[in-house]
Amino acid sequence: MAEEKKLFKVKIDNISVEVEPGTTILNAARQIGGDIVPPAMCYYSKLQGSGGKCRTCLVKVTKGSEADPRPMPKLVASCRTTVMDGMEVANITSPEVQEARKGVVEFLLLNHPLDCPICDQAGECHLQDLGYEHGADGTRYEFKRRTFDQIDIGENIKLHMTRCILCYRCVYTADQLTQRREHGVLGRGEHAEIGTYIQKALDNDFIGNVIDVCPVGALTDRTFRFKNRVWFLKPVDAHRHCDKCCGKTVLWMRGDEIFRVTARKDKYGEVEEFICDTCRFHTKDVKDWTIEGPRKIDRHSVISQGHYVGTVKPKETITDVLEGRQPRLLMDIHSVSEVNRPGIELSKIDGPAHSDDFKKDA
């Protein structure tokens, strides 16, 4: 009984798309792709129940649906609002949304330490990208930022709570991937923190995934901390036979050395498949892996900057501008210079050159 499903027509920033009922606005926008996709700091498509917290993905629903065309009174979190047939959404076309998003970014950065120069997440940090795209130049916050002590939670994971933006992703990860969640959110309001209450080691075969889902540098890989900047490393796709997980990973290498292993992330920074801790922390010998080829990093990431994928040789522009003529030498500076005397061979001067060497009457 292959009954054809009715698709909902949605218009986001005046671009139409047909999606299945039950799709969220954010995922509908991702189906369109490009600039109109709202940023998301807390939503993670692979984690059930995530989203709605960071408020960066706020959009304006200008028309509720075909049946009820009233606009929604408030901005809505696109990651948690499902589409209706005939819905019209404004994201980058709404100044109200842009303004609100700017506000949210300012709030998120309020207590963030901005220690990017010493943060391992720098270069692949979603908050950096978000701040770059939507943030202001400076902060208006003139007070002390909240700080926490760094904690080693487990052998391989470092918790740097000061950087946390409380997206709850790691909580959902532990809930849904591991047998037992041993960390959670303690305290409330500004004092809310990720923690284990009584310092306890997070120890589980899949707990390392909290590092991958963390949008900022709050949870970092202790086997990689301070070893290298991510943009100096070459990411390659690799796989191995693993009896716990899919074994499909990205190796971050320099030369023959594997610096770290992560899951494969798509352009929204979400992993394709979660990997186990054995692959992530304990398999760092090239011999253990079958390398497939270079990993394509297609975000506008600094990682791609020093990378060999997609590099384009700069175009010669002068001949274009001059309509095909070659540039002509107008003047040779050496022939008119009062300082440089062509008669004196620089390499013949003994020691460092001195103005005396160039005096005309010398």
Q: Which residues form the interface with other proteins (CB under 8 A)?
A: 51-55, 58, 74-75, 77, 80, 99-100, 103-104, 106-108, 110-111, 140-141, 143, 165-166, 168, 184-185, 187-192
Is the Cβ of residue 60 or residue 260 nearer to other proteins in the bound state? 60
Tokens found for residue 187: 């305290």
User: Least Å distance between CB 40 and other proteins?
Assistant: 13
Buried b / exposed e along 109-128 (16+ C-beta atoms within 10 A): bebbeeebeebbbbbbbbbb
Question: Between 73 and 342, whose beta carbon lies closer to other proteins?
Answer: 73
Q: Residue 151 in contact with residue 161, Cβ under 8 Å? A: yes
In this complex, which beta carbon is closest to other proteins, that of residue 74 or of residue 244? Answer: 74
- The residue among 189 and 343 lying less far from other proteins, judged by its C-beta, is 189
- Quote the CA–CA distance of 149 and 152 in Å, as a whole number: 10
Nearest approach, Cβ of residue 153 and other proteins (Å) = 19
Contacts of 152 by beta carbon, 8 Å cutoff, 6+ apart? 158, 159, 222
Query: Cβ of residue 346: shortest distance to other proteins, in angstroms?
Result: 59
Query: Between residues 127 and 263, which has the closer beta carbon with respect to other proteins?
Result: 127
Extract long-range pairs of 194-203: CB within 8 Å, 24+ residues apart. Answer: 194/159, 194/161, 194/164, 194/166, 194/170, 194/218, 195/151, 195/159, 195/161, 196/153, 199/151, 199/153, 200/153, 201/153, 201/154, 201/155, 202/153, 202/154, 202/157, 202/174, 203/154, 203/155
**C-beta of 53: minimal distance to other proteins in Å?**
5
Nearest approach, Cβ of residue 199 and other proteins (Å): 20
The residue type at 88:
E
> How far apart are the C-alpha atoms of 20 and 280, rounded to whole Å?
36
Minimum distance, C-beta of residue 69 to other proteins, in the bound complex (Å): 18
Of residues 130 and 279, the one with the C-beta less far from other proteins = 130
* Three-state secondary structure call for residue 97: helix
User: Residue 241, Cβ neighbours under 10 Å: how many?
Assistant: 7
CB of 7 to other proteins, least distance (A): 21
CA distance 31 to 39: 14
Backbone angles phi, psi at 293, to 5 degrees: 155, 175
Task: State the minimum distance, in angstroms, from the CB of residue 208 to other proteins.
Answer: 25
State which residue, 110 or 122, has the beta carbon closest to other proteins. Answer: 110
Q: Which is nearer to other proteins, 144 or 325 (CB)?
A: 144
Name residue 221's beta-bridge partners: 157
